[in-house]
Copies of this chain bind each other. A is one copy, B any other.
Amino acid sequence: MSVITFVCAGQMASALTFPVFENGHEVRLVGSPLDREIINGLRKDNYHITLKRTLHDGIKYYQIEEFEEALEGADLIIGGVSSFGLDWFCDEILPVLPEEVPLLTVTKGMVDREDGTMVPYPYIFEERQPEGKHLNFNAIGGPCTSYELADHDNSHVAFCGKDPKTLKYIRSLMATDYYHISISTDVVGVECAVALKNAYALGVTLAVGLAEKKDGKIGAQHYNSQAALFGQSMKEMGKLLNLVGGKPEHLVHGVGDLYVTVFGGRTRMIGTLLGRGLTFEQAMEDLKGVTLESIVIATRTARAVKKLAERGKVDLKEYPLLMHIDAILNQGAEVDIPWDAFTWDDLD
């Protein structure tokens, strides 16, 4: 039996308690300052108010003030913040984590630099740890929604990190007969592939809204146009993956993750609303209070690609979908998919 401490009691971290607890480990779930009500609820009857599932009886719950106690003797720390909790996690949590305990984070995303470089979150964590500290960073990518994981649906994810031994160790703690884990030392490849899917899922789901608008019926489903956008997303994601130096085979994780994201959750909502003809402002109004990583990642990726284009490193014509998504989100453009820009001549 090992001790696994979860920092943040959000939906994904809490869903991960299922495989970990069922593998016989001691599970300690620590709420962030924003998770106070979640922890209170869990302490009462193990019911998670946002995941809407009952966690296993026997999990130990902690408020953030009790974090130190929860860290004692931990064999693995799982960081569950979304990208919006990144600063808090870097400033408040990284300094107190013990160096000898590996860290596994669920945060998906990238940051773009002035020169157009795109840096995935595990590297941001690494940079932002206190000077001289050397934490052992690892991250989860791949298609896995928290609800379905909590329901024991079969899921295939990828853990990435720098040290093969650590990756094997973490997998040994977490793999079950429904939670299937690939491991990779290509951190940039895995993380960029899965970060990008958020931007492109918004792109694919524009077609959902466009179909509804065309038919005048909510819920109308057309797939030719979705497939065209899905294929274009895959194409652009593959080029971006190559640009950041990730291995092409990890595109599989990104495309799987794109598939899951198209079919559920908040990104589909915003894409659909935009496709129906709402302006970005109107769509955001509709989704009041909802955090949207897809908008952040699309904006950052587009900004990076434009910067690289200025430097002559890429041709913007190769990213027509990303450029259109960016124009919708950041330049007030109406949805008008550049379909013909997706076609290409491959003539020997």
Tell whether A143 pairs with B228 under 8 Å between CB atoms, given A182-B346, A183-B346, A343-B181: yes
Counting from the closest, the 8 A-B pairs by CB-CB distance are A231-B256, A143-B227, A156-B228, A155-B224, A164-B347, A184-B346, A148-B224, A227-B256
Inter-chain CA distance A167–B348, complex, in Å, is: 12
CB-based contact A153/B225 at 8 Å: yes
CB-based contact B257/A227 at 8 Å: yes
Residue of B nearest to A186 (CB): B346
Residue of B nearest to A345 (CB): B183
Segment with Cβ contacts to B, from A64-72, A73-81, A246-254: A246-254
State which residues 172-223 of A face B: CB under 8 Å.
178, 180-186, 207, 211, 214, 221-223
CB-based contact A223/B347 at 8 Å: no
Interface: A283 (CB within 8 A): no
Inter-chain CA distance A227–B194, complex, in Å, is: 13
CB-based contact B155/A347 at 8 Å: no
Residue of B nearest to A183 (CB): B345
Segment with Cβ contacts to B, from A109-117, A259-267, A297-305: A259-267
Q: In the assembled complex, how far is the CB of residue A102 from the closest CB belonging to chain B, in whole angstroms? A: 15
Interface: A255 (CB within 8 A): yes
Chain B residues whose CB sits within 8 angstroms of the CB of A143 once the complex forms: 223-224, 227-228, 231
Interface: A47 (CB within 8 A): no
Interface: A123 (CB within 8 A): no
Interface: A280 (CB within 8 A): no
Tell whether A156 pairs with B347 under 8 Å between CB atoms, given A230-B255, A235-B252: no
Contact flags A141-154 to B (C-beta < 8 A → 1, else 0) = 01111001101011
Q: In the assembled complex, how far is the CB of residue A211 from the closest CB belonging to chain B, in whole angstroms? A: 7
